Amino acid sequence: MKKSLKVFSTKKEIRFYAMSHTNSLLPKLLTLEEFLDRAILLPNPQIPSDLRKLYLFEVVKKIDPSVLGISTELEVFLEQSDLIYSFFRELFLEEVELEEVKLADVYAKFEEHITLLEELRNHYKQMLQERGLSDLIFEERIEVNREYFKEFEEIEIYLRGYLTRFDRWILKELNHPNLKIFYTSTPFNAPLIKKMFGVEEYGSFLFFNQEHKKLAPYKELTITPEVKAFGERIEQVEFVFSKIAEFVESGISPDDIVVVTPDEGFSELLELFDEKDNLNLSMGKPFKHSNLFITLQKLYEEALIEDVKDEEFFKILKEKNTLELFSYILKLASPTEKSIIDEVLFKFKEFTKGLTPLQTLHLLLKEFEKLSFDDVRGGKVTVIGVLEGRGIEAEGVIVVDFNEEFVPKITNEDLFLNTSLRKRVNLPTLGEKRALQKFYYYTLFKNAKRVAISYHKSEEKDVSRFLYELWDKVELDPKEYKIFNFNRFRGFEEVKGELSLPKVFTPTSLKTLLRCPYEFSLLYEKKIYQDSSQPSIHTLIHRAIEEAIKSEPPSWQEYYNEIEKYLFNHSTREQMIDISGRWLKRLKKFTQQDFENLSSNLSLEITQSKKLGDFILQAKADRVIEGRIIDDFKTASSSDYLKDYQKDETNYQAEFYSYIWDSDEVYFYLISHKVQRQRVEIDPKSAKEKLEKVLANLPTTLSYSQDQTYCHKYCAYRFGCKGVS
């Protein structure tokens, strides 16, 4: 028997291959990534991918990265560094020099960006050389490891995606006498097939000895899918389990059913409802749900607001003992958690010198988020992401989240250069990459006996247009499909009985109570918080104004520059797109108008309290001038916030300010459609009377909001609320 090597796209494809050949001796099996890794030799040890961000952070401080929208603060940079690296990686894999991009940029749209990236690359390469390390995409001395593959008489590569120019160079240099590539060309991946092989015909092919042999004609999709829309995203969960049951009853083995989640976060919902352990999560169970991660995240958040309760952790922060942090984390970890994080801690321990314990913890949390526990439940139905589905032939295919935002998805490097520039330097375009993802779905569907597709339907969300490229005559059910009544949402604790009123009220907590006692109880009594790891744009703008004023700018231009700089340094790339498009012009107008107020005696973000009857009223003012003039900055989309405020019977923010600061000068400072400082007609006496009346009639029993518009659109708890019909 020949000693052969078979190369597949994913580990999942290898698993399916092995399952279908249980009665035979298996050849050597590798993924394409493993094959290419073993095919190259570098002169120095390859830098661990986990630590690359730290090295890039060191060199980014040597340039001015603000033009790129990149921050020099570690916590923010960690979010942005993938964009830089993925861009360099794509240029390397497609053998395109930065100089070529610069020459092709005929309108000089990216000239400044490219110059800075070139400078950053040179600094990074120099650092690697000084430390005796290699990074593949910046290495010029690469050899092909022919010796490793000489033992195989035959190598078969089952190609499901795209080989870059660098990948094709490796295969050419390998020069194996019996290397075969099996691939399929369809209307979806045809442009990339032409780039790789020069073939324009559709069908299945074998590439061997520089010749292309057609093995089978292109197969149109003949199966008709079942497509259902759901008003709430989570309702798709029940759809998945009902379809699995239906497929099994029709004779399809559970081993032959796959559930595809274009957004892998949906797998967490599936796991939550998988009471019988029928599912096998190929991506594993996220480490971020572990007790250790939750504990460390809580400690990090407490440190940010300087309210650390753990004495040992407080001592580590105070003494800036970063090395002790690693021992502390291991002490908190369970044996299973230790086995998952040991390698990350070992790698980072040596390379975090110069970082504070808080910066190191932030870095570690970001790495821990990528980790997962193996799913050991042994379910037979496989849950996969679309990339993991390459090459898999399943009889039953269920796809959730078939929405425009998820199907197809783009990656970071795709956002950097526009399509025209990509074409000029022969980089894969955004359209070609999207088409490749469409090809992945096509290959999943073409061999299936049953296909079920679901998507989230709302005013803002709809089915992906790609559905109509796969099937010309697919019919959509015009009504939203409901399997179970959301009022009986499993796992959500219903709060009953009397409501315990707090002693301290803020404008927000009072508004929440008046609007919906049920929401108030969940948030302030049960303390079920929303995820707020990344500040919203509105929060960022408030903080930017605060920091800019603290810098004591000498002119309105400098006032604006400080705001802009803060936003660039603390926003994600997606947020900066929104900020650049919608907010910078408004903020420039705001600084021109507001600069004259900065010369006065003012205080920022001041919290103050005052007793009223049995309660203590507490409020935080964005700005207090001369001790009694209150400015509250508003970034709401309302064109006339004051008018909306006066109609709102639950909002008493101005009354809080007026009563607590004993002031008749309270302003809502609009930074939205128009920049305007609106004065509220109020005085301390009338404010006190209004508040006394409200506090005397507070709800004391639990009830649901009668405002269904609010419940359905804005409430964070609407998915589990029994008050929503």
At 213 the pLDDT is: 93
- Residue 203's contacts (CB-CB under 8 Å, 6 or more residues apart) are 184, 185, 214, 215, 216, 217, 218
Of residues 217 and 66, the one with the higher pLDDT is 217
Average pLDDT over residues 387-405: 87
Place of tokens 């290898």: 14
Whether the CB-CB separation of 634 and 651 falls below 8 Å is answered with: no
In this prediction, residue 499 has a pLDDT band, given cuts at 50, 70 and 90, of: confident
Please report, for the chain, how many H helices and E strands are present, in that order.
29, 22
Topology at the third CATH level for domain 495-725: Lambda Exonuclease; Chain A (3.90.320)
**CATH superfamily, region 226-282+380-470:** P-loop containing nucleotide triphosphate hydrolases (3.40.50.300)
Query: Which tens digit of pLDDT belongs to each residue from 402-455?
Result: 988 888 776 544 555 666 777 777 777 777 878 888 888 888 898 899 999 999
Mean pLDDT of 297-315: 81
Average pLDDT of span 490-516: 75
Instruction: Say whether pLDDT at 23 is over 50.
Output: yes
The lowest-confidence range among 58-72, 562-576, 604-618 is 58-72
Q: Which helix (H) or strand (E) holds 229?
A: strand 226-230
For 554-605, the pLDDT digits (tens) are 888 888 888 888 887 787 766 776 777 678 888 888 898 888 888 768 888 8
Q: With bands split at pLDDT 50, 70 and 90, how would you rate the model's confidence at 110?
A: low
The reported pLDDT for the residue numbered 487 is 43
Segment 246-294, tens digit of pLDDT:
999 999 999 899 999 988 778 878 887 887 788 888 666 778 778 888 8
CB-based contacts of 578, cutoff 8 Å, min separation 6:
537
Asked if the model's pLDDT at residue 492 lies above 50, the reply is: no
Evaluate whether 6 touches 156 at the Cβ level (below 8 Å): yes
CA distance from start to end of the chain: 66
Rounded Cα distance between 381 and 278, Å, is: 6
| CA–CA distance, 165 with 167 (Å, rounded to integer) | 5
Q: Provide the pLDDT confidence category of residue 212 given band limits of 50, 70 and 90.
A: very high
Q: What confidence score (pLDDT) does residue 346 get?
A: 81
Instruction: Give the pLDDT band of residue 84 (cuts 50, 70, 90).
Output: confident
In angstroms, the CA 584 to CA 296 distance is: 36
H or E segment and range at residue 181: strand 179-185
Average of per-residue pLDDT across 87-99: 84
Tell me the range of 472-486, 488-502, 572-586 where mean pLDDT is highest.
Answer: 572-586
Please provide the DSSP assignment of 521-585 as one string.
Answer: IIIIIS--PPP-SS--HHHHHHHHHHHHHHT--SSHHHHHHHHHHHHHHHS-HHHHHHIIIIIHH
Which H helix or E strand runs over 339? helix 335-351
Mean of pLDDT over the chain: 81
To which residue do tokens 């999709």 refer? 221
Long-range contacts of 105-114 (CB under 8 A, 24+ apart): 105/421, 109/418, 109/421, 110/417, 110/421, 112/67, 113/67, 113/68
Per-residue model confidence as pLDDT tens digits over 690-710: 999 989 888 887 766 655 555
Its pTM stands at: 0.62
3-state secondary structure 213-225: EEEECCCCCCCCC
Q: Could you read off the pLDDT of 517-528 as tens digits, one per residue? A: 878 887 877 766
What local confidence, expressed as pLDDT, does residue 166 receive? 93
**Beta 396-399 vs 154-158: how paired, if at all?**
unpaired
At 441, which helix (H) or strand (E)? helix 430-446
Q: Which pLDDT score is estimated for 488?
A: 40
Res. 643 pLDDT band, cuts 50 70 90: confident
10 Å Cβ neighbour count for 542? Answer: 18
pLDDT score of 512 more than 60:
yes
| pLDDT of amino acid 494 | 52
The long-range contacts involving 509-515, CB below 8 angstroms and separated by at least 24 positions, are 510/650, 510/652, 510/694, 511/650, 511/651, 511/652, 511/653, 513/698, 513/699, 514/649, 514/650, 514/694, 514/698, 514/699, 515/650, 515/705, 515/707, 515/710
